Amino acid sequence: MKKTVREAIIAGNWKMNKTPSETKALISEMKPLVSGADCKVVLCVPFVDIDAALNASAGSNIEIGAENCHFEKSGAFTGEVSPVMLKEMGVKYVIIGHSERRQYFGETDVTVNKRLKNALEEDLKVILCVGETLEQREQGITAELVAMQTKIALFDVSKEAAKNVIIAYEPVWAIGTGKTATSDQAEEVCAIIRDVIADIYDSDTAEGMTIQYGGSMNAKNADELLSKVNVDGGLIGGASLKAEDFSIIVKAASK
């Protein structure tokens, strides 16, 4: 991490876990454990848990995010949630383009771009996920793939608006598998993404952008991953469902 020029952010992605009452209990347990953090602490939770999460985190250093949002402000889109709704609730962050959305719900680079722009228009901070599958890594196209995902996602996004974008490099093969990228692999791809940002905008924008690593980051490997200069935090799945483990990662990012 390079804390002098950019913010370190540890964000949990709860995915489809926890009910509202479980949300209240877990955040109450986490609050004292992360209160001294010297990094941003964010929890992205299911839509139905947002209200409970906002109440439980009130007055603490935990900020609340959503896991997705739609690309229109309102309309006939049964089952969807717009960033206008999230903003009114008090949500500050939203994950866009997670590989599980791409894999199971037909998300494409083009819809990622539309959702991202709509979220930025509502002043939400976007955690944009990019990353290659194992097959793509073995084909040697990781750099091209993450560059393409990043460029399409940020198409038509101004330099000013890009200040509210955080990128999470999440190799699909490392998600939920217990198979973490090595710190060198994480560093290499986060640096590639930073170069892509410099290419789209300029080096100041690239240097200032928070780029996280995600994929089986846990209490044991966080220190090593976060020691890398281009890894500015983490997007944490499984380990964000355990207060103690999550707080150890937050402490690693606070160094």
List residues near ligand 13P by CB under 6 A. 13, 98, 170, 175-176, 214-217, 235-239
Residue with smallest beta-carbon separation from ligand 13P: 237
Any catalytic annotation for residue 98? yes
Work out whether strand 165-169 and strand 125-130 pair parallel, antiparallel, or are unpaired.
Answer: parallel
Q: Report in angstroms how near the CB of residue 96 gets to ligand 13P at its nearest.
A: 11
Supply the minimum distance, in Å, between the C-beta of residue 81 and ligand 13P. 18
Smallest distance from ligand 13P to CB 185, Å:
15
Which of 67, 98, 100, 107 is labelled catalytic? 98
| CA-based nearest residue to 15, from 42, 40, 44 | 44
Instruction: Give whichever of 198 and 242 is closer to ligand 13P, judged by the CB atom.
Output: 242
Helix ranges, the chain (H) = 20-34, 50-57, 83-89, 99-104, 109-121, 134-138, 142-153, 159-162, 183-200, 203-208, 222-226, 243-253
Is 29 assigned a catalytic role? no
Nearer to ligand 13P, 119 or 236 (CB): 236
The 3-state DSSP class for residue 204 equals helix
| Closest to ligand 13P by CB, 35 or 177 | 177
d(CA 226, CA 195): 19
One-letter amino acid at 161 equals A
* Per annotation, catalytic residue among 63, 107, 170, 187: 170
161-180 exposure pattern, b = at least 16 Cβ within 10 A, e = fewer? bbeebbbbbbbbbbbeeeeb
What is the nearest approach in angstroms of ligand 13P to the Cβ of residue 55? 24
Q: In angstroms, rounded to a whole number, what is the distance separating the alpha carbons of residues 118 and 126? A: 10
CA distances (Å), 222 to each of 86, 185, 225, in order? 30, 14, 5
Pairing of strands 233-236, 165-169: unpaired
**Closer Cβ to ligand 13P, 161 or 219, answer by number:** 219
Residue 127 or 157 with smaller CB distance to ligand 13P: 127
For the CB of residue 42, give the shortest distance to ligand 13P in the complex, in Å.
12
Q: Which residues are catalytic?
A: 98, 170
